[in-house]
Amino acid sequence: MNDPNEQAVLSEVPRQTFELEECGFREVPKKWRKFYRHWEGPGDELGPNEIICPVCKVVIRSKREIRVGDRLYCMPCMSRMIVVLGEDGTLQTDVTY
């Protein structure tokens, strides 16, 4: 999703939804574990429902496709963030204190 226009068009398309399962992340209470996973490094491709926490580098997962303006929470490091469109056209996050 590198084209900002593509992002705008996508906002009118129904979001994909996802059934999440635990991926071995055990650093939060069990009921929250499927919403997070460890990032395996540069070769680890993120899904459309995943984004990396800028504070602790854990992968945050959502039940639905992530889009600009979404609010996400990183429980492992207590961070709150808003999804934004980066200068390179990729989805990024701004931490909101």
- Report residue 54 as tokens: 């800028």
**In Å, what is the CA distance from 83 to each residue of 6, 21, 24, 51, 60?**
16, 23, 25, 9, 12
76 DSSP assignment: T
33 part of the interface to another protein, by CB under 8 A: yes
In whole angstroms, the minimum distance from the beta carbon of 73 to another protein comes to 5
46 touching another protein, by CB under 8 A: no
Written as six digits, the tokens of 62 are 């959502």
Choosing from 39, 52, 54, 65, the residue that interacts with another protein (CB under 8 A) is: 54
Sign of CA dihedral 62, 68, 73, 79: positive
Closest CB 13 distance from another protein, rounded Å: 20
Among 10, 46, 72, 82, binds another protein (CB under 8 A): 72
Residue 78, interface with another protein (CB under 8 A)?
yes
Binding site for another protein (CB under 8 A): 26-35, 54-58, 62-63, 70-80, 95, 97
